[in-house]
Structure 1
Amino acid sequence: MEDRKDGDEVPVSLERLAGFAQTFGGEGVRELNFYHVKEEEEEQVMLEELKRLFCEKLENGEGQSHRGEHPGCDQNEAQGVQIPDDAFLITCLRVWQYSVHDAARVAANFARFRTRQGWPYRLSASSLQRELLSEVHWLLPGEDRAGRGVIVYNAHKIREAVSAGATVCGLQQMGALLLEVALGRPGVPERGVVAVVDARGVGLDILGRFSVTDMGRGVAMWKDSFPCKIKKIHVIGLPWPLQATCSLILGLLSAKLRGRVSVETGTTRLAEEVGSGNLPKELGGELELDWKGWVMSSEELQRT
């Protein structure tokens, strides 16, 4: 399959792609659904190269020093940052469509960020129970019409969550945890995620809930530091007093990501792109979302 740049349109149908795979053999491909997943043996070869590049980036100062545990890491230069586990690194490979250099860059940035912040590489649902039950974030059970995961940021719930004892740092970890869960779903590493920011009813007082450190952390945790491609960001009902702040935040994003942000007054477009059946009633859909019930009983969440 020809390599594509992120965001390129796919002009052919799945049926035609499947036909090509049958005609030309399709060796080394386990799944054909816009993207391909390589055979395990080929992935393992790439995984070893990724580990080598990861350590090289640390040695060159592209990751924070930490004790490397993979052959080839210089012990003096790589003190403090441990290499992530194989499952995480394979996710990096799949997200970046087997570009080993891109996967190594993101893995090194991820390790550097988590080490600096004192965050574990694998976040735990049990340690974030209060934040999860706050409903500041939702991970929807279904996908949008393009097969992408959907995560919702309920900005209006931040005030109540912080008043109840949650920290902004904990809420940020909650968002990262839910994206880790999303990446465990078939197809999401390859297709990416859609983010929905529900800003309806949010006032200027919300800014007082975030310190400069919180804001910097919130940008750094996603800026080329996590193996998940955000394909679209819907900002719903942004009050005019916060529009200037929104512009400042957008200015911190890459031009490509800024181009994926859509500021909308209502939920009509969102319902069209996600599908009413997969969208909670609170966002103009038909889905009865029992979020707290899911938090308490979800097997995929408890596996984290």
Structure 2
Amino acid sequence: MSEKFCLQLTLSDNAKSIAEKDLNETEENVKNALIQLKELLENDKTIYYKIDDEFLKIFLRPCKFYATSAYELMKRIANFRAKYKTLLYDLVPSQERDAIVNHNLINVLPDRDQLGRRVMIVYCGENWNTSKVSSDQIFRLFYLIHLLAILEPDTQINGTVVIMDYKGMGLKQVAALTPAFSMKLLGFIQDAMPLRLKEIHMVNNPWIFKTVWAVFKPFIKEKLGKRIHFHENKMPSLHKFIDKSYLPKNYGGDLPEINYGGKEWYPVMEKHIDHIKEWNTYGLVEK
């Protein structure tokens, strides 16, 4: 596996500084929040999570070390997993190997942007053969990728950015993006994802995209709505948010065109399979 495609499992000095400034991650706050969160979890027999310090920071960081907020997030995650258990319980990468390796649908840039954020690209247009990969499978891919992202301390702190690429979108893709899918995806993003989603960028969106947006818009809360930006094919507009020196030529950037994808990232998923399997044990306690 190329060193280019790997997770960054150590905390950088820059991210540490940002965490203290933006997330209240001081030594005292961390200590107090961990004590409070552990107590809340130990007193709640309806959900199960391990209480390792580094693990609990996954939930405390997006909640700026407010233990009660992190606890509520963990409960929402448990309830979400139970609601969609047919899709998420016991999910492992091998179940979606074909979709990951052989269909160019979701990609992650190997390097972070100028703000230290992970950048994920989702291809919702001509690349998406809806007869081979369903919308539920795309959701499962999102879910697996987020399980990798939460392992990175820098990503926990700096957050993520998503580029939604609609190039070549047609009626088949529009039909696959149903209200049920939008409710599921937005429910996950807005209520049950322990990551800081900083921005979503819509690019190469054709006129037919208005139909898709009409489906999604009613389910988008104000906080997320403010983080969604529309660029069509105007890449200088995208560069106002992600510096072109951190983007590939595909998006008007200075980096080489993308020549990698799920095939390169799949071994990373398999490398961290123990983490994914362990995550499958968390959630609501069966009565």
* TM-score in terms of structure 1 length: 0.71
Structure 1 position 199 matched with structure 2 position 183: no
Counterpart residue identity of residue 148, structure 1? R
Partner of 1:144: 113
Deviation at 1:45, TM superposition (A): 5.1
Partner of 2:248: 280
Deviation at 1:224, TM superposition (A): 1.6
Partner of 1:68: none
Deviation at 1:102, TM superposition (A): 1.6
Partner of 1:50: 37
Task: Pick which of 289-298 and 195-204 moved more.
Answer: 289-298
Q: How many residues align?
A: 251
Q: Give matches, 1:1-304, under 5 Å.
A: 32-36=16-20, 37-39=25-27, 43=30, 46-54=33-41, 71-74=42-45, 78=46, 81-83=47-49, 86=52, 87-118=54-85, 119-120=87-88, 123-133=91-101, 134-157=103-126, 159-160=128-129, 162-164=130-132, 166-266=133-233, 267-285=235-253, 286-289=255-258, 290-298=260-268, 302-304=271-273
Point out which structure has higher relative CO (alpha carbons under 8 A, 6+ apart). 2
Q: Considering only CA atoms, is the larger Rg found in Structure 1 or Structure 2?
A: 1
Summarize the Cα distance change of 1:97–1:157 in structure 2 as closer, same or farther, 3 Å threshold: farther
Summarize the Cα distance change of 1:287–1:38 in structure 2 as closer, same or farther, 3 Å threshold: farther
Deviation at 1:51, TM superposition (A): 4.1
Deviation at 1:111, TM superposition (A): 0.8
Summarize the Cα distance change of 1:84–1:201 in structure 2 as closer, same or farther, 3 Å threshold: farther
Partner Cα separation in structure 2 for residue 264 and residue 30 of structure 1: 30
Summarize the Cα distance change of 1:280–1:176 in structure 2 as closer, same or farther, 3 Å threshold: farther
Summarize the Cα distance change of 1:262–1:215 in structure 2 as closer, same or farther, 3 Å threshold: closer
Task: Pick which of 125-134 and 234-243 moved more.
Answer: 125-134
Counterpart residue identity of residue 126, structure 1? S
Counterpart residue identity of residue 129, structure 1? R
Partner of 1:9: none
Deviation at 1:35, TM superposition (A): 1.6
Partner Cα separation in structure 2 for residue 32 and residue 88 of structure 1: 17
- 8 Å CA contact 2:174–2:212 kept in 1: the answer is no
- 8 Å CA contact 2:166–2:205 kept in 1: the answer is yes
Summarize the Cα distance change of 1:284–1:254 in structure 2 as closer, same or farther, 3 Å threshold: same
- Residues 39-92 of structure 1: CA distance to partner in whole angstroms, max 9, x if unpaired? 5x97465334224435xxxxxxxxxxxxxxxx4235xxx2xx433664543201
Summarize the Cα distance change of 1:142–1:253 in structure 2 as closer, same or farther, 3 Å threshold: same
Partner Cα separation in structure 2 for residue 157 and residue 182 of structure 1: 27
Partner Cα separation in structure 1 for residue 243 and residue 34 of structure 2: 37
* CA RMSD between the two structures: 2.9
Partner Cα separation in structure 1 for residue 90 and residue 162 of structure 2: 22
Deviation at 1:283, TM superposition (A): 2.4
User: Sequence identity of aligned pairs in percent?
Assistant: 20
- 8 Å CA contact 2:15–2:158 kept in 1: the answer is no
Unaligned 5+ runs, structure 1: 1-28, 55-70
Counterpart residue identity of residue 153, structure 1? V
* TM-score in terms of structure 2 length: 0.75
